[in-house]
Amino acid sequence: MSKTLKIGIIGSGGIAGAHARAYKQMLGVEVAAVADIIPGRAQQFIEHWELPQATAYDDYRQLLDTELDGVSICTPNVAHYQTTVDALNAGKHVMLEKPMSVTLEEAVTMAETALKTGFMLNIGFQPRYDPNMAIIRDLISSGELGKVYYVETGGGRRRGMPGGTFIRKDIAGAGAMADIGCYSLDMAMNALGYPKPLTVSAFTSNHFGTNPLYHKEADKFDVEDFGVAMIRFEGDIVLNFKISWAMHMDSLGAALFLGTNAGLKVTPSGSGPWSGVFDGSVGSITMFHDVQGHHTESPIPIIQHQTDLFHAKVWDFAEAVRDGRPAPIPGSQIVRNQAVIDGIIRSAQTKKEVDIFLPSPFA
User: Which residues of the chain register pLDDT less than 50?
Assistant: 1
Q: Name, in order, each residue with C-beta under 8 angstroms of 272's C-beta and a sequence gap of 6 or more.
A: none
* DSSP alpha helix (H) spans, the chain: 14-24, 41-48, 60-64, 80-89, 104-117, 131-141, 169-172, 176, 182-191, 309-323, 331-350
What pTM was estimated for this model as a whole? 0.95
Cα pseudo-dihedral 116, 118, 124, 130, rounded to 10: 130
d(CA 189, CA 182): 10
Closest CA to 6 of 32, 42, 26: 32
- Amino acid of residue 47: E
φ, ψ of residue 328 in degrees (nearest 5) = -60, -40
Query: How distant, in Å, are the alpha carbons of 219, 222, 229, 256 from that of 333?
Result: 36, 29, 21, 22
Closest CA to 184 of 18, 316, 347, 337: 337
Whether 336 contacts 189, CB under 8 Å: yes
Task: Provide the pLDDT for residue 1.
Answer: 41
Three-state DSSP class for residue 101? coil
d(CA 172, CA 260): 40
Whether 120 contacts 93, CB under 8 Å: yes
d(CA 320, CA 93): 10
Peptide bond into 99 cis (omega under 30): yes
Query: How distant, in Å, are the alpha carbons of 29, 35, 93, 266 from that of 237?
Result: 43, 43, 34, 18
Cα pseudo-dihedral 180, 184, 187, 191, rounded to 10: -150
Burial of 142 per CB tally in 10 Å (0-12, 13-18, 19+): exposed
- Percent helix, strand and coil across the chain, each to the nearest 5: 35, 25, 40
